[in-house]
Amino acid sequence: MAKAKFDRTKPHVNVGTLVGIVILPLMLCLSLFANDKIFDFDGTHHGRGLSLEKFNEAVNSHLPAPHKVALDGILKTKFFRITESGQEIEVLPGEFFGGKGYYKFKPNEEFFSETTCSYPYAGYWDICEYYKFNPGYGGHNHNGSVPPYTWNNQPVPNPKCRYNVPVNQPVRTYFKTPEFATRDDHKRQAWGTCTGAIYDIVDIKIDGLTLLPPAWADSLHGGVTYYNLINNPPYSAYHPINHFGKSQTIALLKQIAWQYHGEFPRSEVLNINDMSLKWGGLFDIDANWQSGPNGHNRHRYGRQADVRLWSIPVGNRKRFEEISCNLGVRAETHGKNCELLSALEQDVWRNTDFKLAPWSELSSDELDAKTPHYHLVFPKFDTEVDDPPDQLPQNCPPPNRGILK
């Protein structure tokens, strides 16, 4: 059987004309020579009538060469987003790559695919739907047991197959995207009245994240290194590039760092560690695809950044918090499990001088392993619905000055 013709947007316009002018008269003629008056288009009634291949051959023998056709079904596919209210909205492909449609969804989002075998006569078909995650696109440099799509808290089989489906009956497969960002190489393979495969690219990501460049590359400040980018081992091996954020986050963070450096030019500049990964989503610093105690639950949307606390002199810390808060950014003190410390614990660490023994005897890596850090919480400048909800700054005024672009 010839492979199916694929049209994602339009019906096959020649079928009706072909049926009315050529095929129906020919069917009546051919039926006189069949054992009975059944045309076996799906090939399941062997010995009864004509198979689809025989019927195609008979039709094409009566058509001029430029008009020869295969009367297979037409395989079509769509994607639909499911909103918080349960509304189903078709997602159109953004562009095509080598015949593949391109679609985007967010982590923790529900959607479904719909595949149809269109055919003017009776028939049946089988379909299997496959997916393959490539988390490296999202910034994950680790493997392990990569979690699958889920639906109703159950894994979606890979492949998900349906058999003996009547033609013109849509087949739906429901998905909930994982918490982490990834690319999905999506495939639907069909057999029977529709035979062939459709390939798509499905990216699961947070849009609008950009990379915070090294300070010396900031042309606004003439190559001055007014902050450092750090990434602590061993976690840096799992997520080597971790300084992505929303454009407003990056602008505010640079403004905080520039103002701090201007007020304390003889002090070490701010050391900025984890922000978000390239495509956002779950930042599993333990490389286990789970949030967990060290999972950076709030580093998903490009609105958080960690700053090394022990490298800020004890006399500068309160002012650093004020500079941040005056721009609408809350500076919290988080422990090694990324939990917010109590007010008493924060006060203790804020007044700890790490230039004194025994802290002064430790290396930078040892200090990072033993001390808390500042966790900066930035305002939300968009109306996107976040799942899980994002953390927002509390008890800090909104930005009251221009933001550096």
Encode pLDDT of 164-180 as tens digits. Answer: 999 999 999 999 999 99
Residue 391 located in a structural domain: no
Residue 165 within a domain: yes
At residue 10 the predicted structure's pLDDT band, cuts being 50, 70 and 90, is: very low
Q: For residue 233, is the peptide bond before it cis, meaning its omega torsion is within 30 degrees of 0?
A: no
Domain boundary among 146, 178, 204: 204
Q: Is residue 397 part of a domain?
A: no
| 326 and 340 part of one domain | yes
Q: Find how far residue 226's CA is from the centre of its chain.
A: 33
Query: 400, 380 in Cβ contact below 8 A?
Result: no
Identify the band that residue 32 occupies on the pLDDT scale cut at 50, 70 and 90.
Answer: very low
Q: Based on the structure, what is the number of domains in the chain?
A: 3
Same domain, 338 and 262: yes
Q: What is the mean pLDDT of residues 179-207?
A: 96
Q: Which two tokens stand for residue 378?
A: 């930035």
Same domain assignment for residues 220 and 369: yes
200 located within any domain:
yes
Lowest mean per-residue pLDDT among 8-17, 133-142, 146-155, 305-314: 8-17
* Per-residue pLDDT at 110: 98
Nearest to 245 by CA among 254, 237, 256, 236: 254
> Domain end: 186, 204, 222, which one?
204
Asked if residue 321 is part of any domain, the answer here is yes
Residue 401 is assigned to a structural domain of this protein: no
Q: Are residues 194 and 265 in the same domain?
A: no
Q: What is the CATH number of the domain that holds 120?
A: 2.70.50
Q: What is the pLDDT of residue 293?
A: 54
Amino acid letter, residue 150: T
Whether 388 maps to a domain, the answer reads no
236 and 354 assigned to the same domain? yes
The pLDDT value recorded for residue 22 is 44
Which one-letter DSSP state was computed for residue 276?
Answer: B
Looking at the structure, do residues 82 and 40 belong to the same domain, yes or no?
A: no
Count of beta carbons in the 10 Å neighbourhood of residue 209:
22
* 198 and 221, same domain (yes or no): no
Q: Which of the pair, 2 or 315, is modelled with greater confidence?
A: 315
Domain co-membership, 78 together with 58: no
**How many alpha carbons fall within 13 Å on the CB side of residue 403?**
17
Question: Would 383 be classed as within a structural domain?
Answer: no
Mean pLDDT over all residues of the chain?
Answer: 84
Mean pLDDT of 202-231: 93
> What predicted TM-score, i.e. pTM, was given to this entire model?
0.80
Give the per-residue pLDDT at 18: 43
The C-alpha atoms of residue 23 and residue 15 are separated, in whole angstroms, by 9
Asked if 206 and 150 touch (Cβ cutoff 8 Å), the reply is no
- Residue 115's domain comprises 74-204
Is there a single domain that holds both residue 135 and residue 221? no
For residues 32 and 95, state if they share a domain.
no
Q: Are residues 58 and 78 in the same domain?
A: no
Greatest mean pLDDT among 33-47, 286-300, 363-377 lies in 363-377
Task: Let me know if 297 is exposed, middle or buried by CB neighbors in 10 A (0-12, 13-18, 19+).
Answer: middle
| Residue 374: pLDDT over 70 | yes
Mean pLDDT (whole number) for 21-43: 41
Domain boundary among 204, 221, 242: 204
Q: Residue 64 pLDDT > 50, yes or no?
A: no
Q: Same domain, yes or no, for 349 and 227?
A: yes
